[in-house]
Structures are given as structure tokens and as C-alpha cells.
Amino acid sequence: MEMQVVQRARENFLAGRSRPLEFRVQQLKSLQRMITDRQGEIATALKQDINRSQYDTPLLELIGLENEISLAVSKLAQWAAPRPVEKSLLTISDQVYIQPEPLGVVLIIGAWNYPWALTLQPLVGAIAAGNAAVVKPSELSEYSASLLKALLPRYLDQELYPVVCGGVSETQELLRQRFDHIFYTGNSTVGKLVMEAAARHLTPVTLELGGKSPCYIDKDVDLRVACRSFVNCGQTCIAPDYILCEPSIQNRVVEGIRQTLLFYGPDPKSSPDYGRIINQRHFNRVMALLDGYTAALGGQSDSSQRYIAPTVVKDVPPHARLMQEEIFGPLLPIVTVSDIDDAIHFISEREKPLAIYVFSSNKKVIKRMLAETTSGGVTVNDVMMHYTLNSLPFGGVGQSGTGRYHGKHTFDQLSHHRACLVKSLGMEERVNMPRYPPQNHQKARRVRLAMRTPLVDFSKGTYIWAVTASIVALGLLVTLTVILILAAGVSCTCW
């Protein structure tokens, strides 16, 4: 079945149905209409999957999706247009540009923690770029996956954008097929399997993974702001995974988190705003990470509800199991460091994280943390907010992922940037003579000079008028375009 789904998507792509800009815009608007029409059903599915509050659904999933679609609709003509580039003397009268083109059929494998945003945001980019896409939602968020399979064909072209549900076997069968790009969001273990499967077909991949994202809290910062980090019950790839701070402020950090958790009232378990772990297996995994530790805050759990209270553990040693894998739950270890040097060393000697968070009012501390560490993204004096801007690329580096998306970055990630040079046959062949045998020192020198770039930068949208004149360059008569800049105040850049 999976093979037939992929084959139909490819046939429809090859027929050119997904390429016209008008069709892309129409499909994007239909996707927007689905989100608007079905917001209540989406919120209900998320409540069933992870006890997501109906008020958090727009905030954490749908508003960002709507922003992505609106941006793509308004900017699509600009994104898909030829992009002029700089020319050399030998190509001055040619058309030289980059043309974004669709890749073909894209496989999108979504994640369960944000099953709508993390599945449909890549789809927005795939549609905008003119691709077909096979959508595979996570089977762990089963209510959302079933609803997506029911809804998407009612709003989008089901031949070009089919939904395939199922578990490991269905995903494995999909990965045996040839795609033109695979976009996977999830953990690094499965990410390696996706990359291995893609390699058999030399298929490029975008891997949005995770890792242990550190949060450094400086001793001079307002701890009331720094301690607000529990979102989606910790089940967020860019959630702070552990805190680094000096021993002198560790107790104050715990107290700051305690005060922050009053958002949920005296008992987070009874709060409609506090979520649940996705399934029993993940509940057991997260609870096992606490073995041998006494919680400084929280620690309560209820297996029947898959509830784990927001939990903080102090004085966690670097070699502890809590520090060896991504937690992906409401546990927050605190590791003490002596100073900013120690914190930077601690971060740098580990795998590159998906995000780094820094809380400090000291500009030197912030500057050092930005300059001396590496991560997919960074937010200073807040958490996760860099994810909300579609002007910023979102993605990992090293073990935390490869590739990037959001806004135009998704369009570019799922496009082939074709290099184009169109030369007129009416051009005098004399200009090309130095390129041809027999070669000598004089010809080689002329070609070297003629191929220097840039002569004129056409990429900035300056309006120009070109007329042809003849000059003598190093003894060789060549035809050169004389550039007259009509835009006031702009001068020609010639060598």
C-alpha cells in the first residue's frame, strides 16, 4: 500500500500538478481553512493524547502554523522567482540567476509531542516549494494521527498529499521507497535509521532531533524570570534539559522554580493546564531516571494517569544517568559549576545541543556564551522564543540535527536551487576567442581578467539599462556592456 501511495504522488508530481503558483496558494489557503474550521476537534484530540489544555493548543501549535501559512501565501511569488546573481565580464550580457525548483516527492515523518505543528509546518514548506508530500504522523499521538488522516484529504489534494498512518512496520516500509527528500522530527536513535535508509537512495534529509539543551543561570540574574521553563510537561525538544549555576544560588533557583509552579495552583495534578506523559513506556522511562535521587522539588507521580509532577533534582553529578540522555519529561537536574569558564567548558565538551539558554544581565557573560559555544539556536533571558520567529532558521547541528526550517528557510530547504546561465547566440564570438586553443600566456592572462567577479551585482534589484559599446582591453577587442544606473544615487561597481 505504501508503495502505491508514493507512486501515485510521484505520478501526479511528474504530471506537473503541484508546480503552478496558483495551485500552491490554493492548497495553502485550504490548509489554513482546515485549521480554522477544525480547531475544536484538534484541541479535543490533543486533550486525549497528552492532556493538552484547550487554551494551550492555539498557543503551542496553531498560531505558529497560521503564521507560516500566511507568510508563505504572501511571499510565495517572491520566493519562487528567479534570483539574479553577480556576473563576470564574459557573462555580462547573459541571463544569470538561481531558479528555485521543486525537489519532487517529500516524506514528512511527524512527532508526537506537537503532532500538528511539527507535522504540518514542513508540509507548508513542501507545498509552497511545489513538491508532492507523503505525510506520516506519529502513531504515539493516536487521536491526532487519526484526525489528521480524516481531515487532510477533505482539504488538500489527496493524490499529492496523502496521509499514511501506522507504526514501526509502516514507517519502515515507507523508508524503503525512494523519496526526493525526507523530513524527520524525533529522537536521534530513529534519526540514524532514517538517515541510513535515505542513504540507500542518496536521498537528502532534514533531521530535527534534540539532545540535552543546557540553561546557564548567572548569579546576578532575576531568578523569577529565569525559572519559568516547564512547558508541555517537559516533552519539548528545545526545553531546558538541565540547569548550570554556581553552588551559591542553587537553593534560590529551586525556590524560584517553586514559586513559578504556583501557575498551576497548589497541586499541578489537578490543574487543567498541566499535561501528561504521552504513554506508559515513556512514563516508566522518565521515572527510571529518578532512581537513586531525592527530589528537591516535586517527585510525585501517578502511573494510572501518567502524571509526573514538575521535579527538580539538586547536585546532580555529570556522570549521572540523568545527564547521559535527553530527559523529555518534567525533570530538571541542576549541575553546579564554579563560574562562566566552567559552564562553557561543560557545554563544549558534550554533543552540540539543539538550543542553549543563558540568563544574565552581564553583557560580557552573554557575549562569551554566544562566542564560545555552539548550538542549533540560542535564546538569552528567555526560553524557546527563538522557535516562534519564522524569520529565524530552526534546526540542529551535529547530533542535534541537520537542516533547518521555518518560513522561507523551509521553502529553501525543500527546493533545488538550480544554477542557470542563458547566453544569446547573437553575441559576437570574438569575446570567447581567448577561451579556445591554441593557448598562450597572453590569452590566459586575458581570460583570467575577463572572468574576474563581481563586475556588477544584479542581485540587489537595481534598475539598469544596458547598451553595447566596444573597448580595447589589453590589446583584445571585446564587446562589453556599458552599465548605466538609472536608480538615483547608485553607482556601478566595475573592475
List the catalytic residues. Answer: 208, 237
Helix (H) / strand (E) containing 124: helix 117-128
- CA separation for the pair 283, 180 (Å, rounded): 36
Which one-letter DSSP state was computed for residue 405?
B
- CA separation for the pair 88, 415 (Å, rounded): 26
Which one-letter DSSP state was computed for residue 352?
P
Q: Answer yes or no: are the C-beta atoms of 85 and 422 closer than 8 Å.
A: no
Q: Which amino acid is at 469?
A: A
Grid cell digits, residue 359: 540568563
Q: Say if residue 143 is exposed, middle or buried (CB neighbours under 10 Å; 0-12, 13-18, 19+).
A: middle
- CA separation for the pair 468, 440 (Å, rounded): 28
The candidate with the shortest Cα–Cα distance to 429, out of 472, 483, 481, 479, is: 479
Grid cell digits, residue 458: 544584479
- CA separation for the pair 2, 174 (Å, rounded): 6
Judged by DSSP in three states, 2 sits in helix
Grid cell digits, residue 245: 549555576
Q: Answer yes or no: are the C-beta atoms of 13 and 104 closer than 8 Å.
A: yes
- CA separation for the pair 240, 212 (Å, rounded): 8
Cα-Cα-Cα-Cα dihedral sign, residues 193, 197, 198, 199 = positive
Grid cell digits, residue 419: 544554477
Ramachandran assignment for 491, one of left (phi > 0), alpha (psi -120 to 50 degrees), beta (any other): beta
**Residue 118: CB partners within 8 Å, gap ≥ 6?**
110, 111, 185, 208
Cα-Cα-Cα-Cα dihedral sign, residues 268, 274, 280, 285 = negative
